[in-house]
């Protein structure tokens, strides 16, 4: 993941590099599935995919997403002690289970 700034709007985005080393022909099927699912999901607790961009070479393909300062996985790996209080855990579970 990379952090990037749109110079025209000054907005921050997250860039996720698509792994192309295993593909000899075409776009990786797992990346296609990921992009398709993320683009279909319209939910306040799921990051939005803005677009797919190509870098300097054809192997440099990035998924451009809204930027979030923290993610749940990183928070869980940073702390060894109980990470969240009971009320925070309940709030997270409500967010994960909510349907828009």
Residue 58: C-alpha distances to residues 32, 50, 52, 61, 63 (Å) = 16, 19, 12, 7, 14
Give the other-Cβ count within 10 Å of 20's Cβ: 16
Residue 75 in this model has a pLDDT that exceeds 80 = no
Greater confidence (91 vs 21) lies with 91
Greater confidence (30 vs 21) lies with 30
The residue-averaged pLDDT of 76-98 equals 81
Q: Can you point out the beta strands (E) in the chain?
A: 2-5, 12-17, 49-54, 61-66
Q: What are the residue ranges spanned by the domains of the chain? A: 2-97
DSSP 21: T
Q: Does domain 2-97 have CATH number 3.30.950.10?
A: no
Q: How many residues does the chain have?
A: 100
Whole-number percent of the chain with pLDDT over 70? 91
Instruction: Give residue-wise pLDDT tens across range 47-62.
Output: 888 888 988 887 788 9
Single pTM value for the model: 0.70
Bridge partners, residue 5, by sequence: 12
């Amino acid at each position: 993941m990379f952090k990037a700034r749109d110079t025209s709007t000054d907005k921050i985005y997250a860039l996720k590099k698509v792994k192309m080393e295993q593909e000899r022909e075409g776009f990786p099927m797992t990346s296609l599935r990921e992009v398709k699912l993320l683009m279909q999901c319209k939910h306040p607790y799921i990051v939005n995919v803005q677009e797919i961009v190509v870098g300097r070479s054809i192997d440099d393909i990035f998924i451009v997403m809204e930027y979030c300062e923290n993610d749940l996985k990183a928070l869980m790996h940073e702390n060894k002690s109980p990470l969240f209080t009971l009320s925070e855990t309940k709030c997270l579970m409500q967010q994960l289970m909510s349907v828009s």
